[in-house]
Chain A
Amino acid sequence: MTTLDPNVPDGPLHKKWDNRREELKLVAPNNKKKHNIIVVGTGLAGASAAATLGELGYNVKSFCIQDSPRRAHSIAAQGGINATKNYPNDGDSIWRLFYDTIKGGDFRSRESNTYRLAQVAGNIIDQAVAQGVPFAREYGGELANRSFGGAQVSRTFYARGQTGQQLLLGAYQALQRQVERGKVQMYPRREMLDLVVVDGKARGIITRNLVTGEMERHAGDAVVLCSGGYGRVYFLSTNAFNSNATAAWRCHKRGAMFANPCYVQIHPTCIPQSGDYQSKLTLMSESLRNDGRVWVPKNKEDCSKPPEQIPEEDRDYYLERRYPAFGNLVPRDVASRNAKYVCDEGRSVGRGGARAVYLDFRDAIEEQGREAIKDKYGNLFHMYEKITDEDPYEVPMRIYPAVHYTMGGLWVDYNLMSNLDGLFVAGEANFSDHGANRLGASALMQGLADGYFIVPHTVGDYLARHRPDPMRPDHNKFDQCEEETRQHIQKMMDVGKNGSRTVIEIYRELGKLMYDKVGVSRTKEGLEEAREEIRELRDQFWNDVKIPGEADNYNKMLEVAGRLADFLELAEVMAMDASEREESCGCHFREEYQSDDGEAARNDDEFTNVFAWDYKDEGEWEKHVEDLEFENVELSTRSYK
């Protein structure tokens, strides 16, 4: 076990980023065009990084698995983006956003990174407005703000319920402008399947053309990975069908460490599963908890009755009962955990055996009137009815927690560079800013902070310091990586010809096992069982998976099979990380480590740190540790009672 150096600049917290920027070496304008940079992924982080690097004069190659960069999964973010503009004059500041973020993450993120995130957040709003992003406005013509996720200040900017879409289109349009200028070459429908490392430095990638099946080599002087999170390891999640961890995982297998894989956010207000054909879960904005009351019947026998037949005294408003101070507005992890507990007790109210709790607007409608509720939540109620065919004005909504975001990811230093020289990681794909839990409206902020304002500068510094020699894709390392990738696919196709279980069948099984044992609430025993079962499932995949079609054309199931093969490895390190983190913090709840009244108990003496896993062989990792130093904030215990 070695201790990792996060490369944090000197100086007081508020001067660190300025100090680093002054130290960064610059690449001369006429030299920029000599450098080729590879950017993988076109979500908020990838599109903004590629556009900005192109603008600066580098030659950028940008890759995405979608048919257009505009469709990356950032597009689906609903709620908003935080920034410390303090327009409402309600006392917000950089310090407060920083403090809320680090406390929300249960003191498991790096102080310096989180502070910088809060510092650059305001620039993102200026940038987006200059691009023509149509944020919500007040009648006076100024930008509107709202409070989000229980924050005490209104610092969230939004564009109806489609903030992610509008911010991504802004970044996408900036990217297409660079495509027109010839500074960015766009490669849609490409999946990164390997990282080419030469002399310890990231020098290129191998991609598969998802239309023709061809293997392609791309050489460069730096690789910026912006490939998103790994929530789809649970199969059912709010992530898109094609979201995956393959690009990050292949980097990991080439030496990039994976940090805190056990930190997974499970969002409490999602539409429950309706059947075993389900392919994804839909998020309902958590703003609903401002007016909805969460309950289940007190008695199991009442669970199958229509809710209106259950009298008031037989209803258990369990969040209000257990957390009188915060009630229905407890943080996401607390709400999710308690929903699981009441369902474990057999008090679930889902349709046809599915797990669910009620989110009831009866009282809010009575007090405020139907119109007031419609004004606030009309579009959400409409979406709910479209999916479930139930009218939430008349019957309570049914909700259940679903996997939403992964805080863990590839380890990066302050410059967002992984432990591999020349491999930068931005957005959800890295681990650095959210600790053990992410606050609402902070994912968009981080993706754009990394892509517009951080990576373009730190990549330049890397190039100026290392002056990499030109790299050509006929280097023998490219031969080797391409051949290994080809063999990996061939091996899957060979098994797939004669196997008996479809990719989706095995995938669903992995998802269920992860949700049950590496989900909302974890135990040592469960985690050990999970590891065993993951290995068995991995064996089953490599001996009995059934894959249709051929490798040399459009083959969706082959794509999914490759991603599943990687998830079957990632799942194991998630279970191991969760097992070794013998404390409860943020979204990571270990039943053995709780206070007398059943709340998460952190162990700051032993675990104020990051676990970064170094891949050795299949199922074998070496653990490294980064100690988290808190020089500016005092570690406190969250309490919502």
Chain B
Amino acid sequence: MADETMDLTLRVWRQNGPDDKGRFEEYAAEGISPHSSFLEMLDQVNERLIHQGKEPIAFDSDCREGICGTCGFVVNGQAHGPEPATTVCQLHMRNFSDGDTITIEPWRAKAFPVIKDLVVDREAFDRIISAGGYVSVGTGPKPDANAVKVPKPISDKAFDSAACIGCGACVAACPNAAASLFTGAKITHLALLPQGRPERGQRVKNMVHQMEEEGFGNCSNIGECEAVCPKEISVSNIAKMKREYLRALFTDS
């Protein structure tokens, strides 16, 4: 409001559907408050485009507080932009300077086809979960929640893995477009907990198989995924996935 504003140039990827070739287009983003979020900056650009009778830039977002995992695109070559441990909805314009040119493009991966502009299809992630990312219990009477104790350090570690928001930044940042961090995080979460143990072997085999079916690449231990992850999921989840896989090959459970 009283604060000074900034003028920026945006280079935005525009693509009309999976079959369109796509191209960068330039837009001026003027009078932007440094306190607005990156998505609110795009909202303002879109309002002006609509007034000019042009199509607004399509992007996905929902909770706008960094937890639903809906938003995400590449800002100046970095998934979710320059601020560590931050989704693009929580990235604020004070991280940029007046006069900057900002390049914005969608997650690029074979398994994430572009729907429009910055919007991609991430249903492959849901299919990986369907392949085994759960504990097979039905609804109904269960043992008392305190019947099985879980040591706090184990429970905390399981939580660290379960904190994944499924945004897909790890895939976008990986030169191989691998989904190993996403898949490894779920495998680790459930393998650590006693409730997830009975199915751990079958789970890792099925989920890894599905990951490959979807066309994600192989992990070659580069670590870009961890660097961009807004929830700071550690690459050790990938190592755990590999150990679980080996274990499953040599044991029955």
Contacts and interface: CB of A to CB of B under 8 A. Distances in A.
A453 interface: yes
A85 B145 contact: yes
B11 interface: no
B81 interface: no
Contacts of A557: 50, 56
Interface string B62-80: 1111011110000000000
Nearest to A55: B138
B44 interface: yes
A132 interface: yes
B129 A553 contact: no
A211 B115 contact: yes
A125 B62 contact: no
A126 B162 CA distance: 18
Given A142-B146, A176-B129, A557-B56, A504 B139 contact: no
Contacts of A546: 50-51
A519 to B, nearest CB: 21
Contact of A69 (B126, B146, B151): B126
B178 interface: no
Given A75-B67, A134-B193, A353-B1, A275 B133 contact: no
Interface stretch (B86-94, B101-109, B239-247): B86-94
Contacts of A51: 139
A67 interface: yes
Contacts, number: 220
The winner among B17, B54, B63, B146 for most chain A CB atoms within 10 A is: B63
Interface residues of A, number: 82
B39 interface: yes
Interface in B82-140: 86, 90, 92, 94, 115-116, 119, 121-123, 125-126, 129-131, 133-140
B69 A71 contact: yes
A280 B152 CA distance: 35
By secondary structure, the B interface counts as: loop
Interface string A131-164: 1101111111111000000000000000110100
Contacts of B19: none
A134 B55 contact: no
A159 B159 contact: yes
B58 interface: yes
Given A126-B144, A387-B92, A274 B35 contact: yes
B158 to A, nearest CB: 5
- Interface size class on chain B is 35 or more
B195 interface: yes
B8 to A, nearest CB: 14
A48 B138 CA distance: 11
B14 interface: no
A285 interface: no
B142 interface: yes
Interface string B160-188: 00110110000000000000000000000
Given A67-B121, A126-B144, A389-B92, A131 B195 contact: yes
21 contacts: A51-B139, A55-B139, A126-B141, A127-B139, A131-B195, A132-B195, A141-B149, A162-B163, A173-B134, A186-B126, A240-B64, A274-B1, A275-B33, A276-B1, A277-B40, A351-B2, A386-B90, A456-B139, A502-B47, A502-B50, A549-B56
Interface of A: 48, 51-52, 55, 66-71, 73, 75-76, 85, 87, 123, 125-132, 134-143, 159-160, 162, 165-166, 169, 172-174, 176-177, 179-180, 186, 188, 211, 240-242, 274-280, 282, 351-354, 386-389, 452-453, 456, 502, 504-505, 546, 548-549, 553-554, 556-557
